[in-house]
Amino acid sequence: MTLDQQINAWLAPVADWFGKVIFYSIPVAGAQLPLILVWLIMGGIVCTLAFRFINLRGFTHSIRVIRGDYSSKDHAGEASPFQALSTAVSGTVGLGSIGGVAIAVTLGGPGAAFWMVLAGFLGMSTKFAEVTLAVKHRIVRPDGTVSGGAMYYLPVALGKVGMPRLGKFLAAVFCICAVGGSLTIFQVNQAWVQFHAVTGFDQGFVFGLITAAWVAFVLIGGVKRIVQWTDKLSPFMCLLYIAACLVVLGANLSHIPGAFATIFREAFVPNAVTGGLVGALIQGFRRASFANEAGLGSAPMAHAMVRTNEPMSQGFAALMEPFLDTVIICLLTALVVVVTNVYQTSSNDGIALTSDAFATVVPWFPIVLAVVAILFALSTVLSWGYYGEQAWTWLFSGSRTSRMSYRLFLCATLAVAPVFERDQVTAIVDSLTFSGSIPNLIAVYLLLPELRAELGNYWQRVVKRAPEKQHDA
């Protein structure tokens, strides 16, 4: 066997084991429902109801926070609200929003797109809760550097019920999951697939090495260099992809109403091929959860570094992440796939299927998608590299040697990412990433009562007060 085949042969049983344990499923209406998805769905429903649909009534305030109305350079932190959001969005608006949506539509039918949007809507409330907790319980060091995330608020949450040791244990479990999830093999793998398809370049290992070298360069510069890249990459890549999608949709303008009708109809009408209603729901929620990461505890680590003296303000800023990622980007991808009908006519899946959809309008559009795919992959790798390093330093230490060890570990993994088979990559990374939601949501549930009380106070004190006056407070 070649080296590629040997690596994949070794990974196969590992991927199979992870998939069976983390995505343990029960049969429901002829489809297999992973219990971890039930856990995430319930998190979104509980938070949406507990905060009285904060995902709707907090939308306007979210925009004000992001543009900096409630932040000052005098506040503790290392980044502006927009930079923190850009870093978090860079971690969520990745290839899951391109290739992942295509996978969902292929396996669950067009109806999966409806459930993806619903998952994004519910995820806004979950993100609000976990980000608020991350900023509230973050650590600000004497040198001005900041660390925050589920590993810091888990001991607080369990301490409130008399189990501080269990809190530290769950924090360690979360960090292990975060380090594993930071190995964003899927992103590099799918970027390579599209790059290879467009250029014909067949040296995947070289592509991986170049990616790893660039990631190492940025990570070595620390959080300031990361946000300098992400606050430029995020807006550019999102606007470029949205523009490309609008061109495809514009060329198929007459088919858009029918596409919406198909998505809505197949979200509820049983279809034996794609698993019916439950099959569409499962695929929609699974890919949406992977794309927007609500409840997984990742984005809170980015928001923890923001300059603010109002922790809850960043919870409002975080509302925008699932909205941008799932309600807008994922829905646009689904519409492109459905209006061009490639999900029925093409034998490809993943990002290759999305590429086929683009090519139906402009033959060279897959080149644009290749550029977007690489940008999405690089931005996601950067954000998750930061998350992984935060988790690594909590587990071990924040010394230079410890940080360099993690960076070498990450870059070595990314260098060989193009040689992995996509299904195995998805199974392992999904499993590790989703595992972090178990301890994270336990903490959110335990701290929910105090969050509700603080929201009432914040709403009266800040939301109803003119932003201009906030700077004088």
Segment 386-426, tens digit of pLDDT: 888 889 989 987 788 888 888 888 888 888 777 766 666 66
Backbone angles phi, psi at 34, to 5 degrees: -65, 130
Mean pLDDT of 75-93: 64
pLDDT above 80: residue 191: no
pLDDT interval class at 75 (50, 70, 90): low
Name residues whose C-beta falls within 8 Å of residue 174's C-beta, 6 or more positions apart in sequence.
149, 150, 151, 154, 297, 391, 436, 439, 440
d(CA 298, CA 386): 10
User: How big is the CA angle at 95 (ends 357 and 295), to the nearest 5 degrees?
Assistant: 130
Name residues whose C-beta falls within 8 Å of residue 236's C-beta, 6 or more positions apart in sequence.
375
pLDDT interval class at 171 (50, 70, 90): very high
* Of residues 218 and 175, more confidently modeled: 175
Contact present, 402 and 395 (Cβ < 8 Å): no
Contact present, 442 and 436 (Cβ < 8 Å): no
- Collapsing DSSP to helix, strand or coil, 399 comes out as coil
Weakest mean pLDDT among 23-37, 109-123, 298-312? 23-37
pLDDT above 80: residue 64: yes
Class of domain 33-464: mainly alpha
Contact present, 97 and 324 (Cβ < 8 Å): no
- Collapsing DSSP to helix, strand or coil, 33 comes out as strand
Segment 439-467, tens digit of pLDDT: 999 999 999 998 999 998 888 888 777 55
DSSP secondary structure of 402-427: HHHHHHHHHHHHHHTGGGS-HHHHHH
pLDDT interval class at 473 (50, 70, 90): very low
d(CA 37, CA 20): 14
Take residue 224 and report the two structure tokens written for it.
Answer: 């300031």
**pLDDT over 70 for what percent of the chain?**
80
Q: Which pLDDT score is estimated for 472? A: 38
Beta-bridge partners for 310: none
Mean pLDDT of 156-185: 88
pLDDT interval class at 47 (50, 70, 90): very high
Q: Which of 35, 80, 89 is nearest to 319 (CA)?
A: 89
Q: Which pLDDT score is estimated for 214? A: 80
Name residues whose C-beta falls within 8 Å of residue 419's C-beta, 6 or more positions apart in sequence.
3, 4, 7, 8, 204, 205, 208
Domain ranges of the chain: 33-464
Contact present, 259 and 87 (Cβ < 8 Å): no
Computed over every residue of the chain, the mean pLDDT equals 79
Q: Which pLDDT score is estimated for 466? A: 54
Q: Which pLDDT score is estimated for 168? A: 92
d(CA 401, CA 390): 14
* Of residues 174 and 424, more confidently modeled: 174
Q: Which amino acid is at 22?
A: I
pLDDT above 70: residue 225: no
Q: Which pLDDT score is estimated for 469? A: 44
Contact present, 357 and 336 (Cβ < 8 Å): yes
